[in-house]
């Protein structure tokens, strides 16, 4: 599922110039999002050793290294990791996190951009993240918000029509996402894996993330207005600190 075709389908999201000062078209929104994330973890990180879990083709790794982080990556996709290594020159592992067997307390920060919703066992993966983080280390998680205004609207449309109108719900729930979180369930999985939530907020979706045309992006941007008003944005972004062993 995560071969070359997965990444080529959304080239504007995965492949772009990762320098914050350079931007163009849809890639600019991704760069702003990554830059904002780096600023966020700077507030909490105890050191500069970073692992990007689900690094894809390495755009965030490039930005992090440019900003002075000692950054490595891991991804389930052999294609993505090969691109990271051979094209961008990053240190990256292919496979599952548990199989790489990083040493205990190896990293100050683990970032998980659009990753946790893809995992078959999010709780087990966060417990492994806890193991490889140093005392006081942090994890950043960015994931779709199940309580977002647009998802609530999509479910209402689907239910009201008895399932006859499948748009936009079929765009929001697809084969690549196995779990969806809201604030309560994301907080719970952090608690069970030995983390203390330091920051959590909802945010609008960057334009380049959506598999959408121009009209669909216009719809998403319109819906983002009530999402901001009611704090029910498209995504949840959280930073949690390692506090103890997993429960």
Q: Which residues pair with 113 in a beta bridge?
A: 142
Encoded tokens for 37? 């994330």
CATH superfamily for domain 4-143+183-206: Vaccinia Virus protein VP39 (3.40.50.150)
Closest CA to 194 of 120, 111, 136, 112: 136
Distance CA(74)–CA(53), nearest Å, equals 5
The full set of domain ranges for the chain reads 4-143+183-206
Question: So what's the pLDDT on residue 221?
Answer: 76
What confidence score (pLDDT) does residue 22 get?
39
State both tokens at 43: 């507030």
pLDDT score for 62: 93
Q: How far is CA 22 from CA 25, 29, 30, 31, 152, in A?
A: 11, 11, 12, 9, 36
So what's the pLDDT on residue 8? 79
* pLDDT at residue 12, as a whole number: 66
Q: What is the largest CA-CA distance in the chain?
A: 53
For the record, the structure tokens of 140 come out as 């950043």
Q: pLDDT below 50 — which residues of the chain?
A: 18-26
Instruction: Tell if the pTM clears 0.85, that is, is over it.
Output: yes
How much is the pLDDT for 246? 60
- Tell whether omega for the bond before 140 is within 30 degrees of 0, i.e. cis: no
């Amino acid at each position: 599922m995560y071969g070359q075709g997965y990444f080529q389908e959304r080239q504007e999201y995965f492949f772009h110039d990762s320098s914050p000062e350079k931007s163009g078209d849809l890639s600019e929104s991704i760069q702003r999002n990554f830059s904002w994330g780096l600023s966020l973890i700077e507030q909490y990180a105890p050191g500069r050793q970073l692992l990007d879990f689900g690094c894809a083709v390495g755009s965030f790794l490039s930005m992090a290294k440019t900003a002075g982080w000692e950054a490595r990556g891991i991804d389930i996709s052999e294609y993505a990791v090969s691109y990271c290594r051979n094209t961008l020159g990053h240190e990256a592992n292919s496979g599952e996190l548990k199989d790489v067997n990083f040493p205990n307390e190896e990293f100050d920060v683990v970032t998980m951009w659009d990753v946790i919703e893809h995992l078959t066992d999010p709780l087990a993966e966060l417990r492994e993240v806890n193991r490889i983080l140093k005392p006081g280390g942090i994890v950043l998680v960015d994931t779709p918000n199940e309580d977002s205004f647009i998802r609530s609207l999509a479910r209402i449309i689907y239910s009201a029509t008895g399932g006859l109108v499948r748009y936009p719900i079929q765009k929001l729930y697809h084969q690549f996402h196995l779990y969806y979180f809201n604030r309560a369930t994301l907080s719970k999985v952090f608690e069970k894996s030995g983390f203390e939530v330091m920051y959590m907020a909802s945010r609008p979706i960057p334009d380049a993330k959506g598999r959408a045309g121009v009209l669909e992006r216009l719809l998403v941007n319109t819906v983002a207005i009530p999402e901001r008003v009611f704090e029910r944005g498209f995504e949840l972004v959280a930073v949690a600190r390692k506090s103890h062993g997993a429960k």
